[in-house]
Amino acid sequence: MASYNLLLLPGDGIGPEVMAEVKKLIDLFNKKGIAKFSYEEGLVGGACYDAHKVSITDATMAKAEAADAVIFGAVGGPQWDKVPYEVRPEAGLLRLRKDLGLYANLRPAVTYPALADASSLKRELVEGLDIMILRELTGGVYFGEPKTITDLGNGQKRAVDTQVYDTYEIERIGRVAFELARQRGNKVTSMEKRNVMKSGVLWNEVMTDLHAREFKDVQFESQLADSGGMQLVKNPKQFDVVVTDNLFGDMLSDIAAMLTGSLGMLASASLGEVNPKTQKRKALYEPVHGSAPDIAGKGIANPIAMIASFGMALRYSFGMGKEADMVDAAISSVLAHGLRTGDIAAKGEATVSTAEMGQAIAEEIETAAS
Q: Which residues 238-267 are close enough to bind ligand IPM by CB under 6 A?
A: 250
Binding site partner of 366, from ligand IPM, Mg ion, none, Cβ cut-off 5-8 A by kind: none
Beta carbon of residue 249, minimum distance to ligand IPM (angstroms, whole number): 8
Residue nearest to Mg ion (CB): 250
DSSP state, residue 81: T
The residue within the footprint of ligand IPM, chosen from 93, 106, 206, 352 (CB under 6 A), is 93
Query: Which of 136, 250 has the CB closer to Mg ion?
Result: 250
**Spatial distance between the Cα atoms of 75 and 91, rounded to a whole number of angstroms:** 9
Binding site partner of 93, from Mg ion, ligand IPM, none, Cβ cut-off 5-8 A by kind: ligand IPM
x-marked contacts with Mg ion along 220-259 as a string, rule CB under 5 A: ------------------------------x---------
Residue nearest to ligand IPM (CB): 90
**Spatial distance between the Cα atoms of 362 and 83, rounded to a whole number of angstroms:** 38
DSSP state, residue 197: -
**Spatial distance between the Cα atoms of 105 and 304, rounded to a whole number of angstroms:** 18
Q: Is residue 92 helix, strand or coil?
A: helix
**Spatial distance between the Cα atoms of 232 and 256, rounded to a whole number of angstroms:** 7
Query: Which of 4, 72 has the CB closer to ligand IPM?
Result: 72
Q: Which residues 15-44 are close enough to bind Mg ion by CB under 5 A?
A: none
Would you please indicate which residues are annotated as catalytic (active-site) residues? 142, 193, 226, 250, 254
| Angle, alpha carbons 119-122-124 (nearest 5°) | 110
Q: Cis omega (within 30 of 0) on the bond before 146?
A: yes
Query: Which of 4, 45 has the CB closer to ligand IPM?
Result: 45
Query: Which of 55, 333 has the CB closer to ligand IPM?
Result: 55
Binding site partner of 139, from Mg ion, ligand IPM, none, Cβ cut-off 5-8 A by kind: none
Query: Which of 302, 333 has the CB closer to ligand IPM?
Result: 302
For 152-205, strand residue ranges (E) read 157-162, 187-192
Is 225 in contact with 140 (CB distance < 8 Å)?
no
Cα dihedral 301, 306, 311, 312 in deg (nearest 10): 140
Does 12 interact with Mg ion (rule: CB under 5 A)?
no
Binding site partner of 90, from Mg ion, ligand IPM, none, Cβ cut-off 5-8 A by kind: ligand IPM
Q: Cis omega (within 30 of 0) on the bond before 276?
A: no
What does residue 96 show for φ and ψ, rounded to 5 degrees? -60, -50
Nearest to 250 by CA among 98, 135, 130, 99: 135
The residue count for binding ligand IPM (CB under 6 A) is 5
Binding site for ligand IPM (CB under 6 A): 90, 93, 250, 288, 290
Binding site for Mg ion (CB under 5 A): 250
